[in-house]
A and B are shown apart, each in its own frame.
Chain A
Amino acid sequence: MDAVLLGVAGVVLLLVLLLAGMHVGMALILTGFFGLTTVLGPERALEMSVSAIYGKISGTALVTLPLFILVGYLASGGGISRDIYASLELLVGRFRSGLGMATVLACTAFGTVCGSSLVTAAVFAKISAPEMRARGYEKGFAYGICAAAGSIGMLIPPSILAIVYGMLSGVSIGKLLIAGIVPGILWTVLFCIAIALYPKIRPQAIRPPASTPPIPLSRKLLSLRAWWPIGVSGGIIFGGIYGGVFTPTEASAVAAFVLFVIYLYRGFFRGRDRGWSERFRELYEILNETATTSAMIFLVLGAATVFSNFTVLTGLTTRLSDYVIGMGLSPMSLVIAFALVYLLLGCFIDSISMLSITVSLFNPIVNAAGIDAIWYAVVVILAIEVGFITPPFGINLYSVLGVAEKDVEIKDLMVGTFPFLIAELLSIVIILLFPALTTYLPAFVR
Chain B
Amino acid sequence: MYKALRRLVHGVEVGITVWSWSVTLGLTLLIVADIFLRYFFSRPLPATWEIGELCMPHVVFLPFAFALTRGSHVRVAMLTRRISAENQRRLRIATNLLSAALGGVLTLYSWRYFSFSFSIREDMLAAVRLMWWWGKIAMPVGMAIFTLRYLLDTVDLWRAEGAFKDS
Asked if A291 contacts B31 (CB within 8 A), the reply is no
A298 to chain B: closest residue by CB: B60
| A contact patch SS | helix
A293 at the interface (CB under 8 A from B): yes
Residues of B within 8 A of A17 (CB): 95, 98
- B94, CB-defined interface residue at 8 Å: yes
Q: B95–A20 contact, CB under 8 A?
A: yes
Closest to B52 in A: A60
- Chain A nearest CB from B117 CB (Å) reads 11
Q: How many positions in chain A have a CB within 8 Å of any CB in the partner chain?
A: 57
Return B166 CB to nearest CB of chain A, in Å. Answer: 11
Give chain B's interface secondary structure class.
helix
Contact of A250 among B31, B60, B80 (CB under 8 A): B31
Asked whether A253 lies within 8 Å of B63 as measured between CB atoms, the reply is no
Q: Within 8 Å of chain B (Cβ to Cβ): is A256?
A: yes
A25 near B63 (CB under 8 angstroms)? Answer: no
B74 touches A (CB below 8 Å): yes
Q: Is A292 an interface residue (CB 8 A)?
A: yes
A292, B80: Cβ atoms under 8 Å? Answer: no
- Shortest C-beta distance, A43 to chain B (Å), equals 9
Residue pair B72, A54 in contact (C-beta under 8 Å): no
Return the contact of B95 from the options A21, A46, A50, A63 (Cβ within 8 A): A21
The CA of A374 and the CA of B62, in the complex, are separated in Å by 33
B102–A33 touching, CB < 8 Å: yes
Q: Kindly state whether residue A254 has any CB partner on chain B within 8 Å.
A: yes
Return chain B residues, CB-CB under 8 Å to A155.
none
Q: Which residues on the A side are within 8 Å of B27 (C-beta)?
A: 63, 253
Q: Please give me the residue from chain A that is nearest to B29 by CB atom.
A: A257
Interface residues on B, range: 35 or more
Given contacts A21-B79, A24-B75, A30-B102, contact A291 B63 (CB under 8 A): yes
Q: Which residues of B contact A338 (CB under 8 A)?
A: none
> In this complex, which of A29, A51, A62, A295 has the most chain B Cβ atoms within 10 angstroms of its Cβ?
A295
A292-309: CB near B (< 8 Å → 1, else 0) gives 111110111010000000
Partner of B109, one of A26, A47, A70: A47
Residues of B participating in the A interface, judged by any CB pair closer than 8 Å: 17-18, 20-21, 24-25, 27-29, 31-32, 35, 49, 52-53, 55-57, 59-64, 66-68, 70, 72-80, 88, 91-92, 94-95, 98-99, 102-103, 105-106, 109-110, 113, 135-136, 139
Residues of A participating in the B interface, judged by any CB pair closer than 8 Å: 17-26, 29-30, 33, 46-47, 49-51, 53-54, 57-60, 62-63, 66-67, 70, 246, 249-250, 253-254, 256-257, 260, 287-288, 290-296, 298-300, 302, 348-350, 352-353, 392-393
- Those 5 A-B pairs whose CB atoms lie nearest each other, nearest first: A60-B52, A253-B31, A295-B63, A292-B67, A22-B95
